[in-house]
Amino acid sequence: MPTIIKQLSIFLENKTGRLTEITSLLGKAGINLTAFSMSEASDFGIMRVVLSDPEAAQKLLTSHGFTVTLSDVVCLFVPNSPGTLSEALHILSEHNVSVDYMYAFAMDDMARVVIRSSDIHKCVEVLQNSKLKLAKASDMYYF
Amino acid sequence: MIWNESYECMGREEMREVQNKRLRTTIEHVYHNSPFYRAKMQELGLTPMDIESIDDLVKLPFTTKTDLRDQYPFGLFSVPMSEIVRLHASSGTTGKPVVAGYTRKDLNTWSEVLARTFAAGGCSRNDIFQIAYGYGLFTGGLGAHYGAENLGASVIPISAGNTEKQIQLMTDFGSTALCCTPSYALYLAEAIEERGVQDKLKLKVGFFGAEPWTEAMRKELEKKMNIKAFDIFGLTEVIGPGVAYECSCQHGMHINEDHFLPEIINPKTFEPVAPGEVGELVFTTITKEGMPVIRYRTKDLTCLNYEKCECGRTSVRMSKIMGRSDDMLIIRGVNVFPSQIESVLMEFGETAPHYHLYVDRENNTDTFDVHVEVRPENFTDEMSTMLNLRKRIEARIQSVVGIHASVKLVEPRSIERSTGKAQRVTDKRNLY
């Protein structure tokens, strides 16, 4: 399914300098970050990143001692206007697709929402059947 | 395989006779040749005549580590220096090191008990031993070295550290037996895994000792290196490694009791405990010449089993060390042994066997933090799973130890690895 995007999740201890290290490693390797979010517990956090070459990034970070895993997410486009997100989420809940987490950013006329669901295939199907627009994986990566 | 069947499988009554005789000789020897022991015995009005059998052992005074330090360096030697052919010393983490002196006969005894150890692990002259214990003052390296040579095996005296070289020789020379500390063994196992050279190894057994380790750690080492892992027990004060060893049944460690006579006492009352009960292990050496120890308090907690082993050996078995009265932490009034925490962490499998305990005191209450490494293969993107893992570990520690610990999940390889004895506890309380 070309709409499923590989997201990188990185285990991070709450230690100064770890984020700098990650971004600098990726930067030097010419890997571009498209979106990311940080989720944190008191002593550790998980950084989730959509980037231009997830496999290469995973290899690179693992070789530098980071703990990394890949998970499937989708990126949904919704018009940047009131009520549109609610509409999309309504469709998902109607079809019993639960959302584990999401992160988003809106600017100009479109908002982009990264969604992780434990049933990602159903999530894609439901959203596409409802004529909602999903980003293509190929738009996210460049090889 | 049994190296010395006549002693290792001797009947209990006969063993008792051997021990009685050797104890009498030892007491004669120290009374006449060691001013230290003579003075201690005289203080209690004892002469060698009072010690007829091992039942009289309880009359004798204890020897402690403090005595050994006070007598630094050679005060406990019971022969002239001209008879001493080797000196070893334990790492002096607190105060002066403990010094041990060996006569030629003592060295022979030592390589005898280690040959028994290695044979019990299934090794013979056909094996290639990689000795990765530190060589030098530490008894591990040279002790294992001469034991393996006595067995007739081919010995690689590589010493501890230099992991690259360890792996290179292990693959190129085809080492079949590895001797080192369990923490270094784990470190090596990880390095082997990282390089993906497991298939090139011919290792079949490991003899790991000099620091406490758990059954779970054994499983981990056995799986990672595809070996059978044997525990080996010893202490410099008694002779070094080889005081006790595991047979293939691995139901406790057989004590070389024709040389080292064990007792278990209650560390508070100093009275012998009932058979099978846990208490502090006490040793009297009954063949040593250079530095015999009489009722030496090891501070190690264990229990003894006098039943005949399925392997055919009749020698008494001690259980794995359950803790040290020294290592015991008292946190919020509860006795905590680091080994308990270790076994909890190993139960989970989702965490690496690398941990560090931090104890501190804030607002007059003890804080207890357990840092543990997550395993890369068990890391998941779901925050709830990770938080749940932490919660489950905390609950398990609470139920095993009886107090709450704050578990902190840390990145793989962030906890310092050691090539010697692992330092797993930081107690920042200034209580003394």
pLDDT tens-digit readout, B295-329: 999 988 889 999 999 999 999 999 988 777 667 77
Cβ-defined contact of B408 to A46 (cutoff 8 Å): no
B411 interface with A at CB cutoff 8 Å: yes
Cα–Cα nearest to B78, from B34, B35, B40, B42: B34
Chain B: closest CA distance from residue A56 (Å): 17
Residue B354 has pLDDT above 70, yes or no: yes
Option in A7, A67, A100 nearest B412 (CB): A67
Residue B420 has pLDDT above 70, yes or no: no
Structural domain spans, chain A? 5-71, 73-140
Residue B430 has pLDDT above 70, yes or no: no
Residue B162 CB contacts under 8 Å (≥ 6 apart), including other chains:
none
Q: How many CB atoms lie within 10 A of CB B35?
A: 12
B409 interface with A at CB cutoff 8 Å: yes
Tell me which of A67, A114, A115, A116 to substitute to probe the interface with B (most B C-beta atoms closer than 10 Å): A67
Cβ-defined contact of B383 to A116 (cutoff 8 Å): no
Q: Which residues of B touch A71 (CB under 8 A)?
A: 381
- Residue B430, amino acid: N
In this structure, CATH architecture of domain A73-140: 2-Layer Sandwich (3.30)
B386 interface with A at CB cutoff 8 Å: yes
Average pLDDT, stretch B402-425? Answer: 82
Is domain A5-71 in CATH 3.30.2130.10, yes or no?
Answer: yes
Complex ipTM tops 0.90: no
Tell me which of B195, B350, B381 to substitute to probe the interface with A (most A C-beta atoms closer than 10 Å): B381
Residue B422 has pLDDT above 70, yes or no: no
The token pair at B430 is: 């200034």
Q: Which residues of A touch B386 (CB under 8 A)?
A: 11, 41, 44, 46
Average pLDDT, stretch B129-136? Answer: 95
**A81 φ, ψ (degrees, to nearest 5):** -145, 155
For residue range B164-201, what is the model confidence (pLDDT) as tens digits?
999 999 999 999 999 999 889 999 999 999 999 999 99
Cβ-defined contact of A11 to B382 (cutoff 8 Å): no
- Strand B351-362: give its sheet, edge to edge: B406-410, B365-374, B351-362, B425-427
For residue range B202-244, what is the model confidence (pLDDT) as tens digits?
999 999 998 778 888 899 999 999 999 999 999 999 999 999 9
Cβ-defined contact of B383 to A101 (cutoff 8 Å): yes
Nearest-angstrom CA–CA distance, A13 and A45: 6
Q: What per-residue confidence (pLDDT) applies to B39?
A: 97
For residue range A23-46, what is the model confidence (pLDDT) as tens digits?
999 999 999 998 999 888 878 999
pLDDT > 70 fraction of chain B, expressed in percent and rounded: 96
- Domains along chain B with CATH numbers: 1-325 (3.40.50.12780), 329-427 (3.30.300.30)
Q: Which residues of A touch B380 (CB under 8 A)?
A: 9, 69
Scan residues 34-73 of A and list those with Cβ closer than 8 Å to B: 39, 41, 43-44, 46, 48, 62, 65-69, 71
Option in B374, B387, B390 nearest A11 (CB): B374
Residue A73 has pLDDT above 60, yes or no: yes
Same CATH topology for A5-71 and A73-140: the answer is: yes
Residue B258 has pLDDT above 60, yes or no: yes
Cβ-defined contact of B411 to A13 (cutoff 8 Å): yes
Scan residues 319-378 of B and list those with Cβ closer than 8 Å to A: 374, 376
Nearest-angstrom CA–CA distance, A58 and A46: 14
List beta partners, residue B101: B87
Total count of residues recorded for chain B: 432
Q: What per-residue confidence (pLDDT) applies to B92?
A: 56
For residue range B98-113, what is the model confidence (pLDDT) as tens digits?
899 999 999 999 999 9
Residue B253 CB contacts under 8 Å (≥ 6 apart), including other chains:
B231, B232, B233, B244, B245, B246, B317, B318, B319, B320
Handedness of CA B17, B18, B21, B27 (dihedral sign): negative
Tell me which of A7, A9, A11 to substitute to probe the interface with B (most B C-beta atoms closer than 10 Å): A11
Nearest-angstrom CA–CA distance, B260 and A62: 50
Chain A: closest CA distance from residue B407 (Å): 9
Q: Tell me, what DSSP letter sits at residue A82?
A: T
Q: How many CA atoms lie within 13 A of B10 on its CB side?
A: 20
Option in A41, A67, A100 nearest B374 (CB): A67
A100 interface with B at CB cutoff 8 Å: yes
Q: What per-residue confidence (pLDDT) applies to A1?
A: 56
For residue range A93-126, what is the model confidence (pLDDT) as tens digits?
999 999 999 999 888 888 899 999 989 999 999 9
Q: How far is CA B344 from CA B24, B196, B397, B400, in A?
A: 45, 29, 7, 8
B387 interface with A at CB cutoff 8 Å: yes
Cβ-defined contact of A41 to B386 (cutoff 8 Å): yes
Cβ-defined contact of B381 to A67 (cutoff 8 Å): no
- Quick one: closest CA in A to B371, which residue? A43
Count contacts between A and B (CB, < 8 Å). Answer: 49
pLDDT > 90 fraction of chain B, expressed in percent and rounded: 70
Cβ-defined contact of A67 to B411 (cutoff 8 Å): yes
What's chain B's average pLDDT? Answer: 91
* CB distance B247 to B305 below 8 Å: no
